Amino acid sequence: MFRKLLCASLFLLFFASLAEAQQMQVSDPVVPGSGIKVTQVGDDFEDPRWSYVMNGLKASHEQDENQRPPGGRSRNGRWYESAMRGQPDLIRRVPTPAGGLAGSEGALLLRTRLSGIPGEIADAQMQDDLLMGVQSRLGQSVPVSWTPSFTVRVYLPPFAQWENRTGASFGVRGDCRGANPEGEVEPYWPGFFIIFRSETNRQYKQDYAQISFRAQQTGKDLIGPRILEPGWWTFGMTFTPDGRVHYYAHAGTDDLTEQDHLFSSFAYGWECRYFDNMFVNVANREDGQTWSTPWVIDDPAFYVIPPAGQTVANLARRAVNTTVARRTMATKSSTRRLNFGKGFRK
């Protein structure tokens, strides 16, 4: 049954991507992780001293235009709080859950409870963000002429441990700038969402998760494959010189391949021009008591394919002194308001 559902989902995704590609001149998709790994960016959480400093109350600029600087940061300088929505309440290095990357001893736990304006209870779905710095580490945005991409492993815990709420729970996204249909270059945020379907909802006979893509050329999210068994998944996105965004994912921790391509899109009808950061969303219903699902990520990495005559050294305009521990074992394989749908805000 699962194979039939997966095949049907992939069939629909293929024709959604094909319909968009036929409308505009496009290049072939590129597997995330292609090219050269940019070591100034990313993390593997192997340093047992890894820690994160919250630096006071979280930001909530999206709700009340209050950023509450200076904002949280990891001590290794590779992660920082979103000024728009604030960081998850729990950001902690933990032992890698079973089945993770070979040789991995550390991963990052993300969980939130008070995900809205500090001191207030929204009694609604809210979310927090954590950004993996790219622009801040390199000193500049990365043009799509460099075919930037990222990969990240995500651990989906047993469904009994999920926040018992049907709706969006986690996001893996790109912080980008693109040309809108009027030709103006503005920020936008394409990516994946993981949505929980709870058996406590009369629509669903059993608990499962489902991937959703943000976004189609129309601006609407596209529902993708179901996930019936929790565990490790690998997600990746590539941003190609034609302005398209390409979405790849599979169960397990092996590197992504051409067979893992799920969807490609001129998200929102925009052409991507620059990649600034990768970030994750953690969502919950903020009632003052309910914690989000405990999400764990590992080994987020960033890659580029240098244009002719360029090297990775040409990207780094800022010297960085912090380093990231390396594993001892080889691994296996001005912002305008937009309509971002019901699953997540922006």
The predicted pLDDT at position 339 comes to: 30
Q: For the chain, list residues with pLDDT below 70.
A: 1-25, 318-346
Cβ partners under 8 Å of residue 98, min gap 6: none
- Do 345 and 189 meet the contact criterion of CB atoms below 8 Å apart? no
**Cα→Cα distances 246→30, 95, 262, 323, Å:** 7, 31, 8, 29
- Do 346 and 129 meet the contact criterion of CB atoms below 8 Å apart? no
The predicted pLDDT at position 17 comes to: 57
The predicted pLDDT at position 117 comes to: 97
* Domains of the chain, residue spans: 1-33+162-288, 48-129
Residue corresponding to tokens 């018992």: 164
The predicted pLDDT at position 10 comes to: 53
The predicted pLDDT at position 319 comes to: 61
- For the stretch 38-92, pLDDT in tens is 999 999 999 999 999 999 999 999 999 999 999 999 999 999 999 999 999 999 9
The predicted pLDDT at position 12 comes to: 53
The predicted pLDDT at position 23 comes to: 52
- Do 83 and 71 meet the contact criterion of CB atoms below 8 Å apart? yes
The predicted pLDDT at position 27 comes to: 80
The predicted pLDDT at position 321 comes to: 45
The predicted pLDDT at position 26 comes to: 81
Cβ partners under 8 Å of residue 286, min gap 6: 113, 114, 115, 116, 121, 122, 123, 124, 125, 126
The pTM of this model reads: 0.88
The predicted pLDDT at position 34 comes to: 98
